[in-house]
Homo-oligomer: A and B are copies of this chain.
Amino acid sequence: MKELLLIPGPTPVNEEVLKEIAKQPISHVSKVFAGYIEKSIEYLKEIFGTKNGSIFIIPGSGTIAMEIALKNLLGKNEKALVLSHGFFGDRFLEILDEDGFQFDFIQSKWGEIIDLNLINDKLKKEHYEVVTITHVDTSTGILAPVNDYMRVIKEVSPDSLIILDGVCATAGVEEKMDEWGIDIILTGSQKALSVPPGLAILAVSERGLNKRKSLGKIGYYYGDLLRWKISMDDPTKYFATHNTNYVFGLKKSLEIILSEGLKKRYKRHFENANYIREKMENIGFKVFGDKNYLAPTLSIFLYPEGIDDEKFRKDLSDKGVTVASGLKDLKGKCFRMGHMGEVKKEELDYAFEAISSLIT
């Protein structure tokens, strides 16, 4: 039986990448290892759409990347505005709250985006030093209209620093850091970058780094981008030990991604998403969320009536296909299917076969 991991991360990893990861570690400050970091930086810049942004590859999960972004851009007396489309947008609120920052938020209804007028009004009333956007919220499957949000933000509050959470987006949907005017894009290794979970990856604008410098001590030693920068600029310099083996894998995965070609890759994600959604609707599932803003990286399939969520996912898993449960209010009503990175049409066909055999 084929084992197919179709949750919205971690995602399947190319065998070539796994082979790299299974090499013996080498010195984390050697010139050879520096080459892996330097190449990965070069490739990531292309994927993030940035020329002058600084890339950071830090051992940790996507969650630490979110906290790193906030702690390095926001002063204690400054305020953040969180634009939240769901669970992972709200996670910014949790972090801001735990970490003692001031913040406001605009939450969309789950499955929808935020009315541009609300953003406009909020930004006109008060200065927000940081605005966060979740590119794809893995809980709702909604793709934020970053371009539209950014147009409003740049018009009303051009000085606000922008954090874009790309965890379930980067390398599966286009990101144009420089063109959009984003200050930090953050992501994890285990989604459309197709590496196992364990790397927090960030791209930071010059404006973002200058802001970090102006903050002085941020009380956040390990996540201090200025400390990591020394080792990212010259990886033979030590700050903390890199995750050598995942960086081997990351470099390889980035090569695979770029050799597919970004445009082609994004198109494939888009087409595959439509492909599986149509098939699923034909057997009685509904796709959750506003049709105009569905992310190409995952789908949330609402069950036809009479399907027991736990049993369905268990039975599907017995057929080798693992999908994820819904979160919060959606729990029990749907399952979430990741279709990003290495997931191709054949895998979707395989999964669909298994799913439809359970339905009919």
Contacts and interface: CB of A to CB of B under 8 A. Distances in A.
Contact of A13 (B24, B27, B100, B322): B24
Interface residues of A, number: 54
Contacts of A27: 5, 7, 10, 322, 324
A321 B4 CA distance: 41
Interface string A1-35: 00101010111110000110111111110100000
A190 interface: yes
A332 B64 CA distance: 37
A25 B190 contact: yes
A98 B220 contact: yes
B30 A322 contact: yes
A217 B25 contact: no
A143 to B, nearest CB: 21
A275 interface: no
Contacts of A94: 221
A170 to B, nearest CB: 15
**Oligomeric state, in copies:** 2
Interface stretch (A78-86, A147-155, A235-243): A235-243
Interface string A44-86: 0000000000000001111110010000000000000000000
A219 to B, nearest CB: 5
B64 A240 contact: yes
Contacts of A12: 24-25
A243 B196 contact: yes
B22 A19 contact: yes
Contacts of A243: 61, 196-198
A27 B188 CA distance: 15
